[in-house]
Each structure stands twice: as C-alpha cells, then as structure tokens.
Chains A and B, each alone.
Chain A
Amino acid sequence: MKALKTKIAVVVTLSIVLSGLTACAPAASPTWSSLQVEGDTIYMGSQAGLVFALDAASGAEKWRFPPAAEKKAIGGIYAAPVLAGGTLYVGAIDKYFYAIDVNTGALRWKFPATGRIYAEAVVAGGMVYFGDGDHGLYALDAATGAKKWEFKTGQGVWGRPFVGNGAVYFGSLDHHVYCLDAVSGQERWRHKTGAAVAGGPVASGGLVYVGAFDNKLYCLNAADGSVVREFAAGHWVWASPTIAEGVVYVGSLDKKLYAFDAATGEPRGSPFDAKGMIRAASTYADGLLYVATEAGSVWVLDAGTLQPKAPPFEAGKQLLTSPVVSGGTVYVSALGDILYALNAQSLTQVWPSPVTPSKRK
C-alpha cells in the first residue's frame, strides 16, 4: 500500500514538472497563414497543413489540398499561396514546395527543398523563386518543378524574394541582402547588414528597401548594393516595406508605422502608433493603408496623413500577416487559421462570423 502511494506521488510530481516544462517551451506548431485573393476566391494555407480555396463572398470552401477524401495533410504553411498561369504555388514546413491546379486543387508537382519553407514565392519569366528556411534560394521551372539553380546562403531565407530588372533580391538571416541574376543565379552583389534580415525586400526606382533586426530599414542602390540611406526604428524591422504614390511605408516591432518620401528619404509626418507590434507589410489601396498588429488590431489609415479613417477592428488574436484588399473587402488571417472579412472603409465584419477552414470536416 505504501509502495503504491509512493508511486502515485512520483507520477503526480513528474506530471506537474512536465506540465511546467512544457508550458515554458515556445509553441512549435503554430504558423501564421498568409492569404492571396484572386477574383472571387481566397487562397489560404493553414497550420493544419491544408491549402484552401474559399469563396470570397461567404468564406465557403471550394476545395482543399490535399483533398478531404485523402484524410491527410502536408506540413504547416506560413507563406501565402501564389497564383500564376492557373497554378497555385506554396511551400510548407514539411520541406516541400507544391504546385497545385487552381481549378481542381489537384497536385501538379512537388519539389523537395533542403529546409522548411516559410516564405512566399515569386513567379516570373516562367520560373518560380522561393527561399529555403535553412539556407538559400531556389529557382525552379514553374511548369515542371525542375530545378534551374540553387543559391546557398549562410542561414535561412525567411522573406519573399523580389524579382525585377533581370535580378532577384532577397535577404537572409545570415545578415546579408543578396542580388542574383534571375536567369543564371549568379551573384551580382551582396550587402552586409548589422543583423538578420527576415523580411522580404522591395525594389522601386533603382532602389532596394529592406528591413533588418538591427532596427533599420536599408535603402540600397539596386545596381551595386551600396547604401543610399538608412532609416532607424525602435525595434526590429521584420515587415517588408510598401511603396505607393512616392512614399515608403514600413512597420516595426516597436509598434509604429513609418512613412518616408521615396525620392528624398525625408519622414512624412510623425509615425503612427499602432499599439501592437507590426510584423507584416501594410497594404495600400485607393489612398488608404491597412495595418495589422500582433495585438490583434486592424487599422485603416489615410495614406497621406497616417490618421485612422475608422476605429480599429479588434480581432483579439495575433494578426501577423498582411491584410489583403479586394472588391471593397479587407481579408486578414489571425494565428490559428482564423479568417476575417471586413468592410474596407468601416472595418466592420462582412461575414456573420470569422471562418476557420481547417476546423471544418
């Protein structure tokens, strides 16, 4: 009897210790699922390892990949699916990059990468480019999935590459911004930053803008990677910048949204206090700027003054991806695969309730 009591005590103590230790560990499985909206369809990955095509008007499911009948899933998905030429491209943390038929949801091909894939892909010139979460960048034939070239970096590439003017620009956690020839993968230049670069660059007017974990937004010469200007924030700049109407907008984990004149680099008024970390790029549409925060707010700002146009929408969940604006509606997904549809002017909910496609059978 005494031995039994001791065993029970041991099991209870260990359970308490284990629960404590498990609670301290950062959650490994959650992903932030980014969105893509094309026409009347929303394309969305999920932490459950499923890709969904949803009706933009109602949130109803059109198809899912892998199909429900197969009762299986791929790895969790961070990246927004990218639509090009009737194919949807998306990478997952199971280290595979998938090409899916956009009409049927059937698999066209899949490509094994070295590491987990966190970043959104870019399709250009018949090629698809995406970052490898462990190290490097891949360029594949968009039609067949055959590897065209691969470029190794010292650490992972977690941001979306930018393709333009025959070049691919991307940042790496190895503290560098790279520029490669888009066709051959040959390096043109690299620029050393003061810390990791987790977000994707954006190029415009011969300049490349990219944020880093040294709290800076770098403005580099697209031709040779030399520094043209630097902007300082109060915390990491993880979000990709948004460039519209000659203004560069960028959010930081210091909870502020900054605006700079693209031509001169001069600040455009005071930064906007979003009251929550800004992890993802803001979205510009029709003179308005949409900002999602880790504190769970969606803001709609006047792009000229950075003043709110309506009270913020409070999701109550972490919003770590960019809002997508289409047809007068703003779509935004929260951690946990929860999808909201909001009126683009008032930020009131369009659907009766948010949709969590991965919880539907």
Chain B
Amino acid sequence: MTQLWNQFIFNPMLNSLLWLYSVLGHNFALSIVVFTLLVRVVTLPFTLSQLRSAKASQDMQPKLAELQKKHKGDKSKLAEEQMKLYKEAGVNPLGCAVPMLIQFPIWIGLYQSIINVLPDSPVQLLSLARHIYLQFSHLLPLNANFFGISLARPFPAMAILVVATQWVLQKMMTPLATTPQQASQNQSMELTMPLVFGMITLNLASGLGLYFLTTNIASMVQQYFVTGWGSLLPLMQKVGLRVSAAGAKEESHGRKK
C-alpha cells in the first residue's frame, strides 16, 4: 500500500515540486505557491461541486427543520421525506463528502511533498533519497530562504498569518446563525480550526505554513464567488467596510431563508 502511494501520488508530486523549483529560478517559496495553486486548479471541479452542495444543503436547512418537527416520532417517515426533499431540490446528500474524499489524497500528497523536500537533518535527507528522481539531485539542498527566514524551520510569524487567514476563511464558510445554539457551534468551529493549523505551523517547517497560507487565500477567493462573505459580513459591516453587492446579496439571501 505504501509502495503504491509513493509510486503514484507522493513521488510524482514531490518531483513535480522539484521540477517547478528548477524552472522558477530556484525560488522555493514561489514554487510552493505555484504548486499549491496548480493543484487547486486541477481539483477545482471537485471543490466547486463540494461548495455548491454545501450551500444547497444550507439553503435546505429550514425545510429539513420543518420536516424534523413534523415527523418527530417517526424516523422512517422522516428519512423518506428528507430523501424526497433532497431529490426535489436536486441535491445529493453525499455531494459534499465525495469531492472532499477524492481531494483528500491529493492534499495529503501535497503536504507530504512540501514537508519532505526540505530536509533539515541527515535522517530526513536520507528519507528524501528514497523518493527523489535522480535527475533532480543536483537541486539539493533547496534554497529555502524566504525574506530572510528559512522555510525549512518553524517561524512564528507564519503561524500568525495562517491563524488569521484560517479564521477569516472559517468565518466565510460558516452561514449566519439563526439560533443561539447554532451561533455557539459556529464559534467553537471558527476558533478550533485556526488554532489547530496555527499549532501545526508553529511546530513544523514554515514552508508548510506558506502552503496553508496560499491554500487559505485561494479558498477565500473560491468561497467568495460561491457563497459570499458568510458570517464575516456582519463583522465587516460593523467595522464600516463597504461590501460588494455580490457578497451582500448572497448573505441577505441566506438570511431570508
């Protein structure tokens, strides 16, 4: 299994990253950004399908809540009615999970590539020797310098940037809460995710942090065009930011529902 994973996912991705490094003027930071964006472009159909399914499911929540109320004691009837509702709306209840599952190995491979291509010790370098295509050996060690910091080592400022962008992204991904209970759930999610990614960045190579940062910014752009500002909207209005018609429209739509 490990061999198959290495041969078909990890090794090709790691060496693609090295190839990018060789053609992008030996700039590893730029290589990570371009590599991450390229992978996002490849997985864009899955991402959009996932985002649209998520939004459709959100839009159906009031109707689903009505059904739950109506068929409180009858589970089989409730399931039947829910399926009918999904069918009528043209929404696949697993529409969100399937694209995510397909993308998951790609993201793990990407993560693995970035973390392994910057060996910071002899043991790590030996591990890289097992996966590198030998025509790229002359590129080692990579120039990990990024504005004076080494992308091979942890850097606190990178962790702060990752936490900040992850928090904004979580806000955008979260629909406006309609009940205090939902607001509490949203809040815990909005804090947990950024802190988890912040902790990872703080403890591993900051090159990985750059990957998280690029991913977050790309996700924010995608999220804006599919679902708008999400829970970020009230906050932006509070601080007096002018919000584009698209973002505001999406949100007011979501709230009316």
Contacts and interface: CB of A to CB of B under 8 A. Distances in A.
Contacts of A294: 126
B149 interface: no
Nearest to A279: B126
Interface residues of A, number: 44
A42 B144 CA distance: 39
Contact of B137 (A26, A158, A195): A195
A238 B188 CA distance: 50
Interface string A197-225: 01000000000000001110000000000
Contact of B111 (A24, A158, A194): A24
Given A118-B121, A279-B126, A214 B116 contact: no
Interface string A115-143: 01010000000000000000000000000
B141 A196 contact: yes
Contacts of B37: none
Contacts of B200: 18, 21
Contacts of B127: 26
A175 B137 CA distance: 11
Interface in A1-43: 2-3, 6-7, 10-11, 14, 17-18, 20-21, 24-28, 30-32
B123 interface: yes
A238 B140 CA distance: 13
Contacts, number: 86
Contacts of A179: none
B119 A26 contact: yes
Nearest to A235: B134
Contacts of A320: 123, 126
B138 A18 contact: no
A27 B112 contact: no
Interface in B188-212: 188-189, 192-193, 196, 200, 204
B158 to A, nearest CB: 16
A155 interface: yes
A92 interface: no
Contacts of A175: 138
Main DSSP-derived SS at the B contact region: helix
Nearest to B138: A195
The 8 closest A-B pairs by CB, nearest first: A24-B112, A26-B124, A195-B138, A213-B137, A6-B185, A25-B115, A26-B127, A30-B123
Nearest to A158: B122
A28 B185 contact: no
A25 B204 contact: yes
11 contacts: A6-B185, A14-B192, A14-B193, A21-B108, A24-B108, A24-B111, A30-B123, A31-B121, A32-B122, A294-B126, A320-B123
Interface centre among A173, A236, A238, A277 (most CB of B within 10 A): A236
B190 to A, nearest CB: 11
Given A18-B196, A30-B123, A198-B125, 14 more contacts: A2-B181, A25-B204, A26-B127, A28-B120, A28-B121, A31-B121, A32-B123, A118-B122, A155-B141, A195-B138, A196-B140, A196-B141, A215-B134, A215-B137
A78 interface: yes
